[in-house]
Chain A
Amino acid sequence: MRKLFFAFLAVSLILFSTSAVLAAELRFYNWSEYIDPEILTDFEKETGIKVRMDLYESNEEMMAKLQAGGVSQYDIIVPSDYFIPSLTALNLIQPLDHAQLPNLKNLSAMFTQAAVDPGNKYTVPYQWGTVGLMYHKDKIKNFDPKNPSWASIFDPSQDPGPFLLIDDARVMIGIAMKYLGYPFNSAEPKHLKEAVELLLKTKHQKSCLGFEGGVGGKNKVVAGVAVAAVVYNGDAMRAVEENENIAFLVPNEGSEIWLDSMCIPAQAPNKAEAYKFINYILDAKVGAKLANWNRYGSPNEASMPYIAPEDKEDPAIYPTPEVMKRLEYSLDLGEKSRLVDEAWTMVKTR
């Protein structure tokens, strides 16, 4: 009996030590399909640091994980702009030591003075982009690419075929607001009620297949299960690469423009490695490699010469000034975010 116990103890110690061994490692919590896998292997080769990447589909998911203990388990996270105030208010991210980030100077001025974090105290811009409609050119019905409108999905009489909405509270409600003629960030109870009703009516249409994360929606369109989906522009552009019949555009009423940045959680276990990685991404050539794979807009000025020329000209990735006017950033709503959260719960539950 005793011998058995000691044998068990010994075996378990061995097993645990093999699985708990942590060599120089970086825990990267990122959106799914948001980085070229080659960049990770290149980084590993150059620095010897192994990168372990976990994926999430929405800011809320990332935030929930952080609050449930992830703040001391991940070294880098990639939140969207409007989440930064909450992250700093809850002390979930730490101020950055610029001395360890010499490549910060590569960033374009537009993004170093961003209203949400002037001077990049906490954040380092990663990619920026928009949200729009991705669709099968030959399978979509009742749709005019020259005069695209969100009515295709919101108006039941204009049935495009099976479509998906994006599983992102702020984006979906914001788009509904734009369609109804209100500002993207409106949190007036009256407006929210209208938006909720619109979204519920849309959700209950026969053709609506429900909500999916950006990547999930893109994959379903590519697989032929859906004909259209509300997705992030980069995801759509990567699908366009694979299938010529797929296209992406921002409908007339407007949509969201967003900026994702890298941050270091407050109790990150591998800070030094995190700084090395962020600095690596900021390098001109790496930044270009990132944008060329992701097909998103790069905030890195120094990378511009290395970015694929077709991308620079593509209005889906770098929108024309006219389209830019119709795009709005999501803003942190402070106390009113509770209203939006409740509204979204209503949309999802009924």
Chain B
Amino acid sequence: MSKNLVWYGELTDPKRLTRRGLFFLSPGMLWLLAFLVVPGLILIVVSFATRGQYGQIQWTFTLENLKRLMGFSLFGWSADYLLILWRSIVIAFVTTVVSVALSYPLAFFIASRPARTRYLWLTLVIVPCWTNSVIRTYSWFLILAPEMPFAKLAAYFGFISAGAPLYPGMLAVYLGMISLYLPFVALPLYASVERLDWSLVEAAQDLYASRYRVFTQAVLPQTLPGLSVGIILTFVPAMGTFIVPDLLGGAKYMLVGNLIQQQFGSSRDWPFGAAISLGLMLLTMVGLQVFRRRGKGMEFI
């Protein structure tokens, strides 16, 4: 005999509720299971397979791909791949930090505008967000070209050879990444900043708190929801990005995204690509946990 209960004002029993719940839940869940979870699991399995002679998958299981990821290749030990993973984390981290640092002034600025013009400024931030990332990335080719003053300045100081463009290179990659991901931090952050209770800030100031403490104790905690959304929307894609390093880094500055893309593309080494994906996934999880410890309450726009 199933208990009757009142749920949302409706008198019903758990079985009927569960049935109806499943009816709602299943289309979406099944889809996600079929096209994300199960393939993901298969991917994990593939990471233990071997690459055949001509690039096909051979189902002989081995830990070799993971070993190779750790650096034990046919040519002896080298920290290549770990280096790439490390480089990706650093770049993602720096990009996120710089984007956050630049987004706060931007968000405050927009929040300080009269309500009429706020939409205008917001639109200015949204437009790059909606614009295609390939376009936004390759447009740096023009700014960093040899004829432009920036490249000429760098050549004058000897950073690059005369007549060379400022790409491919670390600087170009950072510029591309920051300009790509900044709006993704700015918008959620602005959503939080807009709802900021300025009385708390004033109270802190009244109590003679230093500027720094006003920020960290009155402003930061209130903006945390928006900040955490922004960080996740930046850090995760930045970890796996491959357009920016591909176009602006050339083959000189490989990141994890390029590496994976290369394995599924010209190297035709799906097992190794899967192994790297596994590594990337683990790292992303770890990175997110670190960020998440500092922020509670995920709220979406």
State yes or no: do A and B touch (Cβ within 8 Å): yes
> What residues make up the interface of A, taking CB atoms closer than 8 Å to B?
58, 60-61, 63-64, 67-68, 86, 89-90, 139, 159, 161-162, 167, 169, 189, 192-193, 196, 203-204, 206-212, 224-225, 227, 334-335, 337-339, 341-346, 348-350
Query: Which of A189, A209, A345 makes the CB contact (< 8 A) with B168?
Result: A209
Asked whether B163 is an interface residue with its Cβ less than 8 Å from the other chain, the reply is: yes
**Chain A residues whose C-beta falls within 8 Å of the C-beta of B168 in the assembled complex:** 209-210
A143 vs chain B, min Cβ distance (A): 15
A152 vs chain B, min Cβ distance (A): 14
Say whether, besides A210-B251, A334-B53, A337-B53, A349 and B84 are in contact (CB < 8 Å). yes
Asked whether B56 is an interface residue with its Cβ less than 8 Å from the other chain, the reply is: yes
Query: Which of A192, A203, A209, A341 makes the CB contact (< 8 A) with B267?
Result: A341
Query: Which of B145, B160, B251, B265 makes the CB contact (< 8 A) with A225?
Result: B145
1/0 per residue, CB under 8 A from A, across B240-274: the answer is 00000000011110100001001011111100000
**Chain A residues whose C-beta falls within 8 Å of the C-beta of B249 in the assembled complex:** 210
Query: Which of A225, A334, A345 makes the CB contact (< 8 A) with B165?
Result: A225
Task: State which size class the interface on B falls in.
Answer: 35 or more
Say whether, besides A161-B163, A209-B168, A349 and B268 are in contact (CB < 8 Å). no
B162 vs chain A, min Cβ distance (A): 8
Q: Assess whether A162 is in contact with B164, with CB atoms less than 8 Å apart.
A: yes
A246 vs chain B, min Cβ distance (A): 15
Complex Cα distance, B268 from A189, in Å, reads 21
**Chain A residues whose C-beta falls within 8 Å of the C-beta of B146 in the assembled complex:** 162, 224-225
**Chain B residues whose C-beta falls within 8 Å of the C-beta of A167 in the assembled complex:** 251
Task: List 29 A–B pairs whose Cβ atoms lie within 8 Å, in order of A's numbering.
Answer: A60-B266, A60-B268, A63-B268, A64-B266, A67-B56, A86-B55, A161-B161, A162-B146, A162-B161, A162-B165, A167-B251, A189-B75, A207-B164, A208-B252, A210-B249, A225-B145, A225-B146, A225-B164, A227-B163, A335-B53, A338-B51, A338-B74, A342-B75, A346-B73, A349-B80, A349-B81, A349-B84, A349-B259, A350-B83
Asked whether B289 is an interface residue with its Cβ less than 8 Å from the other chain, the reply is: no
Query: Which of B162, B251, B264 makes the CB contact (< 8 A) with A64?
Result: B264
Q: Assess whether B75 is in contact with A209, with CB atoms less than 8 Å apart.
A: no
Closest 8 CB pairs of A and B: A210-B250, A60-B266, A162-B164, A211-B251, A86-B54, A207-B161, A349-B254, A210-B251
B108 vs chain A, min Cβ distance (A): 40
Complex Cα distance, B261 from A61, in Å, reads 11
Q: Assess whether B80 is in contact with A64, with CB atoms less than 8 Å apart.
A: no
**Chain A residues whose C-beta falls within 8 Å of the C-beta of B147 in the assembled complex:** 224
1/0 per residue, CB under 8 A from A, across B112-144: the answer is 000000000000000000000000000000000
**Chain A residues whose C-beta falls within 8 Å of the C-beta of B74 in the assembled complex:** 189, 338-339, 342
Say whether, besides A209-B168, A350-B83, A58 and B55 are in contact (CB < 8 Å). no
Asked whether B78 is an interface residue with its Cβ less than 8 Å from the other chain, the reply is: yes
Residues from 53 to 71 in B contacting A, C-beta threshold 8 Å? 53-56
Complex Cα distance, B254 from A203, in Å, reads 12
